[in-house]
Structures are given as structure tokens and as C-alpha cells.
Amino acid sequence: MRLSLARRFHSKLGAPAAATRAAIASSNYSTLPSHNRGTTTPAQHHSSNLSSLLSSRKYTTYSQLPSEHQMVYEMCRKFAEEELMPNAGKWDQKHEFPTDAVDKLAELGLMGINCSSDHNGSELDALSYAIAMEEISRGCASVGVIMSAHNSLYLYPIDAFGSDDLKERYITPYTGHERDENGRLNIGCFGLSEPGNGSDAGAASTTAKDDGDEWIINGTKAWITNAHEASAAIVFATTDKSLKHKGISAFVVPMNAPGFSLGAKEDKLGIRASSTSNLIMENVRIPKSNLIGQPGEGFKIAMQTLDGGRIGVAGQALGIASASIDCAVKYALERNAFGKPIAQLQSIQNKISQMTVARDSARLLTWRAAQMKDNGEKYTREAAMAKLAASEAATMCAHQAIQILGGMGYVTEMPAERYYRDARITEIYEGTSEVQHLVIAGDVLKEYKQLY
């Protein structure tokens, strides 16, 4: 972890993290283990004699986490409780983008969480990202999706597949330290879905025509998170229709380019503090150098981007599930019926047990996928499993929270109804639950075919 980031963390954590700060201060490494897989912290040397390689790590509980991950957890949890929870309901009711909160995310290093310090990023690993996403989304799911779309869907494909020039132009100014011409924080968005296709990502009707030193892009992208606040977009467009999905390419498109416009903001069921709308491109010209990777690699880039994005959505769903459990348990302990707290009723205890088991099971799947990504292993199936389990856990926990609260769960005076509305989208975007089942089953069948 960069020392500058550590100082920012220290200033936000306060007294409860004194032990963690001491552990970090005693460390000599300059980046997190995911960028230096052959090293371990002193604490890890003492706690395990099995291996000195972080590629074998398997963390399953918060208490097992290295100090830097616990530090991320404590910082994000504190930020969520102090800055997000008190305002989330207001942002939701007003459909108000949480500008100040997103600015503070940037100050904490969370708007470039996985990017290299060469580009002003925080150099945190995927497990840190999953932990941060859960805690931020526990405070406000809208802030969680803003953070997730920016990190997972916008920054990642440029970082993983873009040229050095692209990284300098479209990552360095987008990791929370620079602003656009209107004084707004630079954030990005991801344009894959279209009005005529969602789950069928290979059927892109948006086109990019080679025109000498430029590409000319025409088409419309739909359901785009961060659309009205973003300064640049990742856009997938067909460059060779005859090759079908192998003829799709990926581009970075500045949103102030002539011919680029936005549709109306969607009036959504949940995550209403984030903007969602169409990206409309009419003869938008971009430099030839704005191509990400090589022509025809767009579909591969999209699929790999979504693998990592599903870890982020799983983290968001876990945050909603955790918030639902918090709300339900606190209410059950305080609400009296039949002469005692309803928490003493077996039917209520059954619900609390089911909610906690579902949330914790999904968290284990999410951490497994994140650790596999950090270890350089193939994690497509595991990310799909994490996203599927966590999103369904979020919906179930939010549903049961309303049942425990009864009538109070149905009114905006309590946050349970917002959790219920926010949870529903996690089973839809970045691959519906039905698509996750296809991904999981397809990988299992492929594995068995190779065995027999």
C-alpha cells in the first residue's frame, strides 16, 4: 500500500484502528501483496508456516484478514456509518446524485482502488475491493454502484488492455485527483447494452467505421450507470459485421465529443441516487488511438471486464443484505409483542438465521472469487456464483427485513423498503441471474467433458 494512501486511511479511521495502524506502520512493503506476490507481511509470517506465497492464501473471516485489508474494512465501515447512512434516504427520495460523497470516496483513494500508483491509483487488490464495496453499499447502494461502475467497468478495461497513452489520458485523470472543465470529478461509464440487446452482448448494432486517423461511431447504448456525471465512456461497437462477435471492438469515447448526447434519466425502482440513461452517438469522431486493445477484441474485453464487475456487484449485494440484517435485528430487539421483544419469537429467529446464513455464504463465495482473481487464476465461474448467490441473498434479506418490521417495513420512515428496492437490480445488471446459471453450468459441463 502506498504510504500516502495509508496516511489518508489513518486520518479517517480514528482511535478504533490504533492497532491496525501500528501493524501497518511496522510493515516495510510499499504496495499491497497483489502487486508483489512473492512477499508477505510480518504478521503473515508469524501466523502461517504453511507457505510464504500469497498465491495460496484463503481468507474466510474478517479476523483472518491481513492488517491492510482490515484497515480498508474499518475505514469504509466508518465512512458508511458517518457519511452515507444519514443521507442515503434523502438522496433516494430526491433522485439526487451524491456529489459530496463521491468526492470523499475519491479522497479516500476508492475511485481508483485497483489502479497502479503510476496512474494515481491506490494499488489495492480485488479482495480489498470486495470488502470496500460491501461496506460502502451497506451505507448506500447508490454510492456503491457509482463506485463499482467506475472501477470495475470503466477503469479496468483500459488498465488491462489499453495502451500506455490511453492509460495516461483516461486513467490518470480519473482516479480521483482531477476534474473536468465544469469542475466535476472525472468519472467514467461503460456502454455495452443497447435498446435491442442486453444479455446478448455479441449483437452490438453500434458501429465504428475506420476513417483514416479516426473512428466514426454511430449507435445508442442503454441502461448506462453514471451517464449524466461521466466524462468518458467505454463503448463497444462493431468494426466488422461479417465476423459477428469477433468483429466487435472497444473504444474510449470522450463524452464532450461533437455528436455525443444523453437520453433522459430513467425513473428507476431503486439505486435512484445514481443516474441511468442512454448514450447516443451520431457520427462521433475519436482518434484512432482511442481503440482499446486490438480490433476485434471487444467481446473478449467485455467478458473479462464483466467477470471482475460481478465481484463488485456481489459486494454491493452483500452490503444491501448486511444493511437489511442490521435493520431487522435492531428492530426485533426493540419491538415488543405478546409481552416480550419479537426477537424472542421462534419465527423471527428463523428469519434472522436464514438471512445471516445466506449473506455469509455469499460473502465466502465473493471472497473466493476475489482471491482467485488476485492469485491470477481463472475465476469466471466463481465470479458468476458469487454474483448469483449475493444478489439472491440481498433480495431475500431485504424481503425478510420487511416481514420482520411489518407495517414499518413498508414506509419510508424506515430504510427496509429502500433496501428491498435497491436489492432487485443486483439480480439484473452485469448479467441476470439466468445468465449466471448459464455461465456456471457451461463451465461445469466443459470441465466434465474434459474429464470423460
Which residues are designated catalytic? 430
The count of residues in the chain is: 452
Residues 423, 270: Cα–Cα separation, whole Å: 8
**Helical H runs in 30-66?**
42-47
C-alpha angle 5-227-256 in degrees, rounded to nearest 5: 95
Burial bucket for residue 91 (CB in 10 Å: 0-12, 13-18, 19+) = buried
Q: Hey, how many other C-beta atoms are within 10 angstroms of the C-beta on 63? A: 7
Give the 3-state secondary structure of residue 294.
coil
The answer to whether the beta carbons of residues 154 and 227 sit under 8 Å apart is no
Q: Which is nearest to 100 in space by CA: 86, 85, 84, 122?
A: 84
Quote helix, strand, coil % in the chain, to nearest 5: 60, 15, 30
Amino acid identity for residue 54 in this structure = L
Residues in a beta bridge with 210: 215
Residues in a beta bridge with 250: 236, 292
